[in-house]
Amino acid sequence: QKEVEQDPGPLSVPEGAIVSLNCTYSNSAFQYFMWYRQYSRKGPELLMYTYSSGNKEDGRFTAQVDKSSKYISLFIRDSQPSDSATYLCAMSVGSSASKIIFGSGTRLSIRP
């Protein structure tokens, strides 16, 4: 079993829809949870990070962590064609030499 599982998609939704991206994990020691966005042929860019359980909102993006279920989500409201990218979840235990475990990424396409 992989430490982090993420549905690779592709996921295609119309512009303006609410998008839900999800990951599950098996290591209960994970404390830091991140979402990266990667455009084609570019390096991933950090979109959001959260510590422990709960929600965090940033503009149209909301990150949600449920540690009891070992499940994290990223919601995108009012989705735009510019949101079309691959979204990778990532998580770490958190230490001075932190290694991050990445999901395989979900490819998202927003149709105009």
What residues form DSSP beta bridges with 83? none
Residue 111 CB, shortest distance to other proteins, in Å, is 21
Binding mask 31-70 for other proteins (x = CB under 8 A): -x-x-x----xxxxxx--x-x-------------------
Residue 84 interacting with other proteins (CB under 8 A): no
User: Whole-angstrom Cα distance, residue 110 to residue 102?
Assistant: 23
Q: Is 108 in the site for other proteins (CB under 8 A)?
A: no
Question: Would you count residue 11 as binding other proteins (CB under 8 A)?
Answer: no
3-state secondary structure of 79: coil
Give the span between the Cα atoms of 9 and 97, in whole angstroms: 32
